[in-house]
Each structure stands twice: as structure tokens, then as C-alpha cells.
Amino acid sequence: MSPPKPTERRAFRRTDDYTPGTPKLKLIKEQLPQTLPPTSAIVKVHAVALNYRDANIANGGNPWPVVPHGILCNDAAGEVVAVGEKIKTLAVGDRVAPITDTENISGRELGRSWLAADEDGVMADYVVFDENKLCKLPTYLDWVSASIIPCAGVTAWSALKGMSIGQTVLVQGTGGVSVFALKLARAAGLRVILSSSSDKKLQQMKEKYANPPLLTVNYSTNKNWHEEVLKLTDGVGVDIVVENGGTGSLVKSLKCARRGGIVSQVGYLGKQNPMDLAELVPTIIDRRVNLRGINAGSKYDMEDFCAALSASQMPLDDLIDSVFPFEEAEEAVEYIWQGKQIGKLVLRV
């Protein structure tokens, strides 16, 4: 006999108070829909992963509009506990995660609706989604590891698209997307140059990825880090850049990509100043670089990525910096805001 359908949930909603030092989240109880829409499922959330974006939204810095007092976070892993009467692709007990942009199924849709911004996110113990916005998760992973797939994982997967064995990739920083990209790139036989603002973090990563040796650059102490990257590639440049800084680093990233290489624009972690882009056009033309925007990925991308994970049985637990209890969501957001992590921070629900 299936368990009774849940009727309410606990969710962290944003306070929308952006004053430093004040709480950014409020835990509330709210009703779940009494009648489940015919093609929807109720998912019991077991783990929620945080991203820089969540801390940025909670502190009022998101460059795109957000719904007032919305629920934070877009990364969750959970189990289907109830299904609508017309659902075809899911059953009670399936392990699933919602896609990050719920309008992006095939990559060809015109709209965009990001969880935690255009609509409520997933920092809750139950969530309700239409079946076509849910992706089945690999069964070999525990909940915490599975929760980091939809945003950081799919973004890293999309940013590295087109890579082939023997190529060189520059991965910027040691945050969630970057450590995922680093791990995928190494597994795919790429040479990786990792940058960080911290020699200590670089040393830790060198020890972790000792064979073959990880190449590293400190982008904070070496303002001309792109020249160092060129040196490390005998002047050729890297095949792919996982670009995380935004305006402050983009031109340098283009300068250290090889002619005809790819720069995947993922992040905007630095101070965003259009004045830094004065050399953008001549540099793109000169180096014939393909600059591509990364917007996590489509549902199809996530399915491909999950298939790759299942085939390789790649463990992901080493990408987890720390696990907090659900109730400590506020502390978790602050931890990310201060950039203390190497890799991912996950809430266990």
C-alpha cells in the first residue's frame, strides 16, 4: 500500500532583506496542492545542493529578476511519492531531480524559467513538478551526491562540450562548477590547468590530482595569469576555458585560448565592469575564438550527463565540501557567500 499523500511542506522562503547581517531565509509551513495536476508528481526531497547563485540571490545580487520571497535553490534530489492520474514516465519510488531551467527541455524552446528566480526553487522537504520537468537520476549515487547534478554538474558538462582526449582546458576557481569540470575533464583524458586565488587550495587540488600532475595558476597574486597559461601550453593556448569571472577575466581568457578555441562563459564571479571589455572584439577576431554562453543545460543534456555518469559509475562524493542539516540553511548560504568551500555544499533533508 502506498504511503498517504503529503498535504503540507516545510520550505525556506527568502526574507528579501538585503541588509548585511540580517537573516536571509525564513522557514515556513505551507500547503501542498490538494488535487495533484494530472501530469505532476510530488517529490520527497532528500538533499538540496547550494550554488553561488543562491547566496547571490539571497543577498539581492542576482542579475535577473526573482519572484518576491521565493524559495531558494535549484539543485535537489528526491524520490517520487505521489503521481497524478495521467503521468506516463514516472512512478512512485523513482529517484528524480527537477531541471534548472524548467522551460529548457530540448534546447530549442524560446522561453526561460529558472528555479529560485522566475519561479520557486527547491529548498523544501516536498516539491511538486510536472513530469516533463523531472529527470531520472543515476541509481548508483546517494542522495547527497545526486543533488549536485542538475546545476553544477550539467553546467560543467555543457561547458566542456566538444572536448576530446588530449586537449587542454583552463578551469577557473575551485567552486562547485569548477571542481565538477575538473573531474569530468580528467576522466575524459584532458590536461587541466586550474586557477585559484588561493595557493593553499591549489596545493590541496594538486595533492588530490597528483597523477598526471595538475597544472595551476594563482589568478589573484598573478594579475597576468593568462600569460602564465600561455607559457604552460608552449604559447599555443588552451582548447577550452571554463570562464567564471565575467567581465574582469573574459578578455584574458580569450587571450589564453588557442586560435579557434572555445571559451564557455559560465560565471560572473568578479566585479562586473563593462569597461574591462574594451579589447573584447579585436581579441575574439584575432584569436578566432568561439565564445559561447552556458545556461546550465536542457533536460536532454541532463539525461545525457546522467547516462554518462551511470556508464562510468563515477563517484561524486569527493566533490562535496560539506553537508549541513536542512535546518541550518541560513548558515549554509552564508558559508557559500563567504566562498569558504572547495566544491559543493549540500543540505541533507
The CA distance from 44 to 76, in Å, is 10
Q: Which stretch binds ligand NAP (CB under 6 A): 12-20, 29-37, 227-235, 260-268?
A: 260-268
Q: Which three cell numbers stand for residue 220?
A: 589573484
Based on the shown chain and the rule CB under 6 A, indicate whether residue 147 belongs to the binding site for ligand NAP: no
Residue type at position 331: E
Based on the shown chain and the rule CB under 6 A, indicate whether residue 241 belongs to the binding site for ligand NAP: no
Based on the shown chain and the rule CB under 6 A, indicate whether residue 270 belongs to the binding site for ligand NAP: yes
**Which residue, 15 or 272, has its beta carbon nearer to ligand NAP?**
272
Residue showing the smallest CB distance to ligand NAP in the complex: 175
User: CB of 42: closest distance to ligand NAP in angstroms?
Assistant: 27
Taking CB under 6 A as the criterion, the residue among 39, 204, 295, 310 binding ligand NAP is 295
DSSP-assigned states of every residue in 323-335: EEEGGGHHHHHHH
Q: Which three cell numbers stand for residue 306?
A: 546522467
Q: Which stretch binds ligand NAP (CB under 6 A): 13-21, 76-84, 147-155, 231-239?
A: 147-155
The CA distance from 88 to 106, in Å, is 19
Binding residues for ligand NAP restricted to 19-78, rule: CB under 6 A: 51-53
Asked if 49 and 152 count as a contact pair (C-beta separation under 8 A), the reply is yes
Q: Kindly report the backbone phi and psi dihedral angles of residue 179, in degrees, each rounded to the nearest multiple of 5, phi listed first.
A: -70, -30
Buried b (16+ CB within 10 A) or exposed e, 290-300: ebbebbbbbbe
Based on the shown chain and the rule CB under 6 A, indicate whether residue 261 belongs to the binding site for ligand NAP: no
Asked if 114 and 101 count as a contact pair (C-beta separation under 8 A), the reply is yes
Taking CB under 6 A as the criterion, the residue among 70, 121, 175, 261 binding ligand NAP is 175
Based on the shown chain and the rule CB under 6 A, indicate whether residue 121 belongs to the binding site for ligand NAP: no
Question: Where along the sequence are the contacts to ligand NAP (CB under 6 A)?
Answer: 51-53, 151-152, 155, 172-178, 196-198, 201, 219, 244-245, 248-249, 266-270, 294-296, 336, 339, 341
